[in-house]
Structure 1
Amino acid sequence: MKLSHVKKTLSILTILLVTLFSANQLFAQSTGKIAGKVIDEKNSETLIGATVSIQGTTSGTATDVEGHYVLSGLQPGKYTVLVRYIGYQSKSISDIEVKADATTPLNITMGQSASQTLNEVVIKATYRQESTSALYAIQKNSVSISDGISSELIRKSPDKNTSDVLKRVSGTTIQDNKFVIVRGLSDRYNTASLDGAPLPSTEPNRKAFSFDIVPSSLIDNIIISKTASPDLPGDFAGGNVQILTKDIPDQNFINFSLGYSYNTQSTFKNFNTGFRSVSDYFGFDDGSRKLVDNFPTTSQIVNKQLGFTQNIQSINSLNNDFGIYNNKALPGQNYQLTVGNVKEIGENKNRFGTTIALTYRNSQNYTPDLIQNFDNYDYHNQVSKFSTNVGALANFAYSFGKNKITFKNLYNRILDDQFTYRTGANTGTSSSDNRFYAYDMLEKALFKSTIEGDHSIGSKNSKIKWNLGFSNVLNDQPDQKKVNYKQTNAGEPYYATVTNLGKENARVFSHLNENIYSGKVDYNVPVNLFTQSTFKAGVSSQYRDRTFNARFLGLVIDQNNQNYDINAILQRPIETLFGPNVIATGVYNLEELSNPTDRYDANSFTNSGYAMLDSKIGENVRIVYGLRVEKFDLKLNTEETNVDQPRVKLDNLDFLPSVNFTYALTDKANLRVAYYRTVARPEFRELAPFAYYDYELLATQQGNPNLHRTLIDNADLRYELYPSAGQIFSVSAFYKHFNGAIEPLIDDPNSSTTITYFNSKSAYVYGFEMEARKTLDFIDANTFFKNTTAYANFSVNKSRVTNPDDGVTRLETTRPLVGQSPYVINAGLLHNELDNKLSINLLFNRLGKRIFYAGGERFSSVYELPRNVLDFQVGYKVLKSKGEIKLSGSDILNQKYNFEYQLDGKPYSPSGGTTFKAYNLGSSYSLSFNYTF
């Protein structure tokens, strides 16, 4: 383990221990709190400096810059809260029950009065009424068309990470269990931010953020904006995913949880792995797989400058353990410790809060028969995947007067070690039966740090909000090893294909490092325009700097060596094929495939500015409109170029107008209309000419330096009804037109397929969405149905992209966009019983067939076929509701994943089968326990 990694881990543990010891008052509390926000009932804007007090006492406080308040030190009992604010009607809320060592949440809405003085008329409401009206206001008054999910709903699902959570959101699906697709648009058309700062791409070969990195238990809420406003980044067309983690808790707590899971297909079954070190269990390679510091350079190897002794020494410095170790797959493990601490400082009750969490997950999954049966291939794969995820979160916040400063930090690391054993026939140009071995370990890490300030200034309570962020992404493949054995005729021996260097005999060492620096400033101020208006303006910058390098090495046997029986060596089993005694003979030569495009560095600089107005016109009309301007510069260099002459250079200035119109049909219903222009820019990897053979796809992926950005015009229409608190019914329609859509392009006339990218002349997508969430008390007024909520979201999408007219005859002139599903269904039932101690949640998901892999000249597109996914969770609170036991089941139907070549809706293949791949992952059942002190 690197020293820097050790220091980083120790510093996080030190912070955690300090916080634990500083929280000595956690178990001494006997009083309770009332906490929440005060908001404007017309637009949900927070009210700064409102006075919140306990009626009949001198106990009171003022709301901070986020409109937040806390009334602490209250003895258990029922209270009435009085709220006053200049220009608004005062409000009295009664029947607020406070319990010992607990916080009672209460968000409060305020209505404007005719005069600008403290109004003598006091509006009265009960706790239940006020909680309901506040939730209405927040739901109904959002600026743009959006969907989201709260931490409360996340806790009631079996979801372990953010990618699992996102597939519950209307119009959203997940690909490869980690990449988000919104409204049928692939990950490259979606953006994400964490705590207000943009999230980078975590993948070396695509523009995508791996959402399985962020544990779901650390999320405060997730919002997906499906329409743009000028204050949002302009580079999305599907959705802008905004993840907020927790900062200042309402009360002190220590929470720990542990869980274990059983997979019907994997746990306690045979589990084959390659070399493993103890540090793999903690998410770090111990360094024994990586190239040593004094390893020969590419030039030395390619130009054959290694002598006999140096050749052997260099080979011996590699990790030549090709052993296959058979174990039993252990149950999945999940541990988390979270500490929250809040302290009131001084007479003004300024608040300093911390939230610190450590997480650990480990899983061992086995796929016994992944089938690839198409064209000349008839492969069967046994796949064992060992995964470790470790993470830490450390958030600090200080709220004083009308100011708030937050410092949020997230570190997460994933180690995936996959062993694949492939058997079967390849009846192509070199007809053979094969035994293929792949040892594939990948390390991904994300470190993100954000400091943010929120300040209210002036008599009008204008706001300035600023944000500075730094992110670092690592993606390392320290030693991907591949070796194939071939049998040309039945009954003959299998010979290792180590007579040359290529995709059946290679070792890949790749390293990706990217630093991202970001900053932004937003300013908003109330202005005298129409009934009520707010002017908002801001500037932002983001600088990305990436370096990538890859080396393709391998051991090639000297067939001209007369001193040894070469055929006998080629028939050795994989465990001894590269044994020390064979290497010592010098029969193997170290070789390298080199191309100047195997290494690239790239940077991009995005500068943005915007201005917008949020205007209320009369009682029912709200318009949010403005302009965003983005300047984008990108440079990418490979070794065949120099810094003064970049291989790729982009220079774009884009004007992005948007308007969001909302008409309040009733107090509970809105009609929304939106138009906005956005962009989609090529990712570094899509531009880099670097070629990489993917043995799972059986294809080479390569970038296109000639790509340019996509301009997208969007239109949305939505009707939404909020029949009661926490319930919704909405229907939406949308249309998107793409000028120069970036899509995969398949080159497959030969036996080896290449995937690259192109800009289509035009493309479009349109669709319909419906969402409903309703308690079942309309069936019967008894307690059972009152405590049961049904929810569903359904979307229908249609898209079309035209393949390039470049003289190549392709099977498909037009096709749907890659990743776009014609329909998506999410549904569920949630029931609470025994005074909310028992909760039962049943979840269903299904999506229509979507293109996984675009078609070419010989092959049609590969479609991922529909499958039904059923999950459940049963939770029961114990130990005075401070602990909870959860039993969860994921994918309990365990239907097969099928990926099939289809043309015009029918199976297609030029010869042989039509199955690109098919497999089962098994059902998973987990039992967990969490307890909060």
Structure 2
Amino acid sequence: MKSQLTLKKALLTLLFVVIGATVFAQGTGKISGTVSDKKTGETLIGVSVKIAGTTRGVGTDVDGKYIFPSLAEGKYVIEISYVGYSTKKITDVEVKNNTTTSLNVIMEEAGSQTLNQVVITASFKQESVNSLYAKQKNSAVISDGVSSDQIKKSPDKNTSDVLKRISGATIQDNKFVVIRGLSDRYNTATLDGATLPSTEPNRKAFSFDIVPSNLVDNIIVSKTATPDLPADFAGGAIQIVTKDIPDQNFFSVGIGEGYNTASTFKDFKSGARNATDYLGFDNGNKALPASFPSTSKIVNRALTQTQGIAAMKSLPQDFNIYSSSALPTQNLLLSLGRVKNFKGGNKFGALLSLTYRNSQTINNDVIRDYVDVDYRDNVYKFSTNIGAIANFAYSYGKSKITFKNIYNRTYDDNFLSRTGLNSSIGGGADVKFFAFDLMQKALLKSTLEGTHPLGEKAKINWSLSYSNILNDQPDQKKVSYYRNRSDIGSPDYVYFANVTTLGKENTRLYSTLNEDNYSAAANYTLPLKMFGQTSIFKTGLSSLYRNRTFGARFLGLQLNTAASDANLIRQRPLNTLFGRDVLSNGSYNLDEIPGDADSYTANSMTNAGYLMLDNKLGAKSRLVWGVRVEQFHVALDAKVKTPQTSVDQNYVDILPSVNYTYSLTPKINLRASYYRTLARPEFRELSSGSFYDYELLAQQQGDPSLKEAKIDNADVRFEFYPQAGQVISVSAFYKKFHNAIESFNSDVNSSRTITYMNTDNVNVYGVEFELRKTLDFIAETDFLKKTTFYTNLSFIKSKVETNNVGITLLEPSRPMVGQAPYVINAGLQHSFLNDKLSFNALYNRVGRKLNIAGGRLFHGVWENPRDAVDLQLALKVLKTKGELKFNAGDILNQRTTFYFDNDQDKKYSVANGDYTLSSYKPGANYSLSFTYTF
């Protein structure tokens, strides 16, 4: 508790020092925005933007952006002109002190030289509506997105919150995204144009809660493919672009506290804790000593007794269970933006952000009841997350160079306490099990990017990126006790520690994963005339190299059963079971399970190139088509290389795509598309290494024979935009998977191992409906005009036939693993008091979906549906520079349940024989936060 108070004092001191050191300017405002082509949506380079009646003028940069700094408060007329386009005048552009007025402009091509002299006049409000319409309609693919302007109006604090608002997207565990009901393995993500590596050691998934929403420029989720997108997705490609040059200087401070109904102020159990845990770092006490004997010396019995005792004593021996009161969740956000304008229009910008979060959560009475076990678990999780973003950009002439960096570190320290019955031990045994499990994860990503014009309209974009992923699991300790029920009434009916044999379920695991990613890309864009219309030609090359090393050691202290006091030692409580006295007298021997197949090195190289044309075919038709070619090579070798543990695969894939849009009216689009994409196994899924998951009560193991999946996709969509910012759309899609990658229960030996397989043919059909509409159609009132209802519904049917994969399963015909049959998102937004007070209500439900496919003995594991309701209330205070937010998350607090559907009735029913893999209530979350922007 003393370390907690010290940390809080340090953070508060830092906060006040930074606030006191911040100086901000007053007295002028700015106008900034982007100029785009009405038909294609492409930004325009070198457009002349002037303040009418003055000599002040600027040109748009290579991103089509412009800015007028240091403008006196008042209303202005902006004049925009460009060769081949009609000139525009925008009236009533209001500038206020210390604020930036955003004015995005849409330019129309001139039909003739005469028309080019015509001046189109529009008001600021009209042009804002027009630009929003253009953004909605001009996407080359079926996609949905959120801009920075929309994010500003929401209380979302990170990108996972923002993604909740995108049609067809669902967030799981507050950080992982599901698109169109497809699990995260079938989605891909890019940050500032570079592919994001997985933040998870055992799956393809990215934790989207690490990017603060106030630094996001836009998020686009593409549900169909174009040749310039990475090919490894079937659900969606999530593209996050962070800001680089801010519109104005700012400094934001945010603090927050959260309450969980299942955890906060409850009795919290844990292993040893130290002050650095609150900073996201272990102090080194849990690490394996550098001088610890090698695996070969231990397994070959090359240590003397003295050396063995010294090695055992060098391991941390604190097995005490500590109790405290779970503190409220704590959040801190610091963001700083700076922009410097130079003569000639050059400018330099910087964005810095630091986020901190600490939470202590409890999952009480987790039910695990199946086959021969009936357990109750209490799971305690101490988690610290720190994140930092540092973006820098320099714009000169019509060129721009950016250097963007993100760092995230997560410290998850878990303690599990289990009690219950295991009927497979003797005639049945009472069990006590304890697990101390620390996982430290870190992600560092840096991207250097440049955009430069070539000639008057063409441009080239290049990027170099590096990322590093670290997953460190020091000293995962597992200990079990049991007592035989056949001994009831006898002196032997006491708990005995399971320390006479060594298995992966009762060892100390030390593992480290380190991965380096290097990528480079170059893209060339050229506007040209085809069929009498402006078209865009685009081509590019990219490479991504990944290199991973993974090491694991399974150590254990094995009791010498010949010792006279062996049974007394086994009856010791956990905190003295491995006491220094019994280590000193030689009661234990140091042992290790050789992990030659568990440790591995792996690398992959992906080279890609593409050709793409964006054609306007007449006034209403648009065709975006092309081809992408990807060459992929992956190699993986276990610590001791054998044909059974090695992987060396090479693929060359030709991936065509066609996206057609027909503008039936200025407000209605009809779309159709075909495209081929991929899904590739992760390194961990290719490794033959086996690990015991004490929560799933099963081994987890990869399969070196796993192949990449190929997916043929087709989509059609009807879009209607009744007003700017509003949409009604209906979509249908079909996906055919060849060699889909799925997890299943491999149980030929009566014990469960979760591994992976390729299923030859999977067919997925789906329809989507989206509605975002203000309620003023009910009645023309101010209240209903400011109230927006939105919903997106997805209904999907998937069918897998596994008859020809060489595996006999209980369920040869079933839905696809991870594919939800339906996804329901709905919400209601309302703003009060001139947008100073906003209210949001969100509802989400994901249908019953298969989590792990069934094997020969065990049926499939299903995730039961649950209803989630979130409420958000945001109030702008202190002249709108401050914002007070109240969030209520998962207020229904329904059970999270995974179960074996033994009776195949598609319902969770213990009475009908279904087994429970896990079931618990996570608790509702309530938080209050305050942010102030200087």
| Structure 1 counterpart of 2:621 | 621
CA distance in 1 between counterparts of 2:296 and 2:113 reads 78
| Structure 1 counterpart of 2:919 | 918
CA distance in 2 between counterparts of 1:540 and 1:645 reads 32
CA distance in 1 between counterparts of 2:623 and 2:662 reads 9
CA distance in 2 between counterparts of 1:192 and 1:308 reads 53
Do the aligned partners of residues 100 and 909 (structure 1) sit closer, same or farther apart at CA in structure 2, a change above 3 Å counting?
closer
The DSSP-based 3-state class of the residue aligned with 2:269 is: strand
| Structure 1 counterpart of 2:602 | 602
1:665 aligns with 2:664: yes
1:739 Cα deviation after fit: 1.1
User: C-alpha offsets along residues 382-415 of structure 1, whole Å, 9 cap, x if unaligned?
Assistant: 1111110001100001111110100000000000
CA distance in 1 between counterparts of 2:101 and 2:758 reads 54
Do the aligned partners of residues 641 and 910 (structure 1) sit closer, same or farther apart at CA in structure 2, a change above 3 Å counting?
farther
1:814 Cα deviation after fit: 1.3
CA distance in 2 between counterparts of 1:294 and 1:406 reads 44
Within the candidate set 294, 298, 307, 2:295 is matched to 298
> CA contact under 8 A between 1:361 and 1:388: conserved in structure 2?
yes
Write out aligned runs for 1:498-647 (5 A). 498-530=499-531, 531-562=533-564, 565-641=565-641, 647=646
Matching residue's letter, 2:597: T
Do the aligned partners of residues 670 and 118 (structure 1) sit closer, same or farther apart at CA in structure 2, a change above 3 Å counting?
closer
> CA contact under 8 A between 1:82 and 1:91: conserved in structure 2?
yes
Do the aligned partners of residues 74 and 96 (structure 1) sit closer, same or farther apart at CA in structure 2, a change above 3 Å counting?
same
CA distance in 2 between counterparts of 1:183 and 1:257 reads 34
Within the candidate set 37, 44, 59, 2:41 is matched to 44
Deviates more, 1:42-51 or 1:402-411: 42-51
RMSD between superposed Cα atoms in Å: 2.1
| Structure 1 counterpart of 2:886 | 887
User: C-alpha offsets along residues 427-478 of structure 1, whole Å, 9 cap, x if unaligned?
Assistant: 125421111101111011000000100111213x101000110000001111
CA distance in 2 between counterparts of 1:549 and 1:808 reads 31
CA distance in 1 between counterparts of 2:692 and 2:582 reads 28
CA distance in 1 between counterparts of 2:715 and 2:526 reads 28
Matching residue's letter, 1:515: D
| Structure 1 counterpart of 2:854 | 855
CA distance in 2 between counterparts of 1:895 and 1:908 reads 16
1:355 aligns with 2:351: yes
Matching residue's letter, 2:696: L
| Structure 2 counterpart of 1:453 | 450
1:684 Cα deviation after fit: 0.9
> CA contact under 8 A between 1:478 and 1:508: conserved in structure 2?
yes
CA distance in 1 between counterparts of 2:546 and 2:777 reads 54
> CA contact under 8 A between 1:374 and 1:911: conserved in structure 2?
no
Matching residue's letter, 2:360: Q
Q: TM-score, normalised by structure 1?
A: 0.95
Do the aligned partners of residues 175 and 879 (structure 1) sit closer, same or farther apart at CA in structure 2, a change above 3 Å counting?
closer
1:134 Cα deviation after fit: 0.4
CA distance in 2 between counterparts of 1:677 and 1:27 reads 52
> CA contact under 8 A between 2:337 and 2:350: conserved in structure 1?
yes
| Structure 1 counterpart of 2:159 | 162
> CA contact under 8 A between 1:859 and 1:909: conserved in structure 2?
no
Write out aligned runs for 1:289-438 (5 A). 289-346=286-343, 348-430=344-426, 431-438=428-435
> CA contact under 8 A between 1:219 and 1:246: conserved in structure 2?
yes
CA distance in 2 between counterparts of 1:152 and 1:53 reads 24
CA distance in 1 between counterparts of 2:912 and 2:307 reads 48
Matching residue's letter, 2:793: F
The DSSP-based 3-state class of the residue aligned with 2:287 is: coil
User: C-alpha offsets along residues 741-784 of structure 1, whole Å, 9 cap, x if unaligned?
Assistant: 11113212444201111111111111011111111111121211
CA distance in 2 between counterparts of 1:572 and 1:156 reads 59
1:812 Cα deviation after fit: 0.4
> CA contact under 8 A between 1:86 and 1:117: conserved in structure 2?
no
Matching residue's letter, 1:919: Y
1:215 Cα deviation after fit: 3.7
Give structure 1 stretches of 5+ with no counterpart: 1-14
CA distance in 1 between counterparts of 2:911 and 2:440 reads 38
Do the aligned partners of residues 568 and 151 (structure 1) sit closer, same or farther apart at CA in structure 2, a change above 3 Å counting?
farther
> CA contact under 8 A between 1:860 and 1:909: conserved in structure 2?
no
1:808 Cα deviation after fit: 5.1
The DSSP-based 3-state class of the residue aligned with 2:134 is: helix
Q: TM-score, normalised by structure 2?
A: 0.95
CA distance in 2 between counterparts of 1:262 and 1:496 reads 37
CA distance in 2 between counterparts of 1:154 and 1:841 reads 13
1:929 aligns with 2:930: yes
> CA contact under 8 A between 2:471 and 2:513: conserved in structure 1?
yes
Do the aligned partners of residues 486 and 158 (structure 1) sit closer, same or farther apart at CA in structure 2, a change above 3 Å counting?
farther
Matching residue's letter, 1:534: I
> CA contact under 8 A between 1:717 and 1:733: conserved in structure 2?
yes
| Structure 1 counterpart of 2:32 | 35
Write out aligned runs for 1:199-214 (5 A). 199-214=196-211
The DSSP-based 3-state class of the residue aligned with 1:251 is: coil
CA distance in 2 between counterparts of 1:31 and 1:414 reads 42
The DSSP-based 3-state class of the residue aligned with 2:784 is: helix
User: C-alpha offsets along residues 631-667 of structure 1, whole Å, 9 cap, x if unaligned?
Assistant: 111111112228x998111111110000000000111
Within the candidate set 264, 272, 275, 1:275 is matched to 272
1:504 Cα deviation after fit: 3.7
User: C-alpha offsets along residues 142-200 of structure 1, whole Å, 9 cap, x if unaligned?
Assistant: 11111123345545656554334334322222344433222222222111111110111
CA distance in 2 between counterparts of 1:807 and 1:620 reads 51
1:210 Cα deviation after fit: 2.8
CA distance in 2 between counterparts of 1:557 and 1:912 reads 40
The DSSP-based 3-state class of the residue aligned with 2:563 is: coil
CA distance in 2 between counterparts of 1:158 and 1:383 reads 31
Deviates more, 1:568-577 or 1:899-908: 899-908
1:320 Cα deviation after fit: 1.3
Do the aligned partners of residues 787 and 122 (structure 1) sit closer, same or farther apart at CA in structure 2, a change above 3 Å counting?
same
| Structure 1 counterpart of 2:168 | 171
1:118 Cα deviation after fit: 9.2
Do the aligned partners of residues 415 and 677 (structure 1) sit closer, same or farther apart at CA in structure 2, a change above 3 Å counting?
same
| Structure 2 counterpart of 1:653 | 652
Give structure 2 stretches of 5+ with no counterpart: 1-13
CA distance in 2 between counterparts of 1:377 and 1:168 reads 41
Extract structure 1 runs of 4+ deviating beyond 6 A: 15-21, 908-912
User: C-alpha offsets along residues 479-521 of structure 1, whole Å, 9 cap, x if unaligned?
Assistant: 1110011011245101111111114421111100000000100
Matching residue's letter, 1:641: K
> CA contact under 8 A between 2:839 and 2:873: conserved in structure 1?
yes
| Structure 2 counterpart of 1:4 | none
| Structure 2 counterpart of 1:5 | none
CA distance in 1 between counterparts of 2:806 and 2:248 reads 67
Do the aligned partners of residues 808 and 255 (structure 1) sit closer, same or farther apart at CA in structure 2, a change above 3 Å counting?
closer
The DSSP-based 3-state class of the residue aligned with 2:217 is: strand
> CA contact under 8 A between 1:635 and 1:646: conserved in structure 2?
no
The DSSP-based 3-state class of the residue aligned with 2:771 is: strand
Instruction: Give % identity.
Output: 56
| Structure 2 counterpart of 1:243 | 240
1:27 Cα deviation after fit: 2.3
CA distance in 1 between counterparts of 2:756 and 2:832 reads 53
User: What is the count of residue pairs matched by the alignment?
Assistant: 912
The DSSP-based 3-state class of the residue aligned with 2:239 is: strand
Do the aligned partners of residues 672 and 104 (structure 1) sit closer, same or farther apart at CA in structure 2, a change above 3 Å counting?
same
Do the aligned partners of residues 786 and 808 (structure 1) sit closer, same or farther apart at CA in structure 2, a change above 3 Å counting?
closer
Matching residue's letter, 1:925: Y
The DSSP-based 3-state class of the residue aligned with 1:605 is: strand
| Structure 1 counterpart of 2:72 | 75
CA distance in 2 between counterparts of 1:839 and 1:180 reads 25
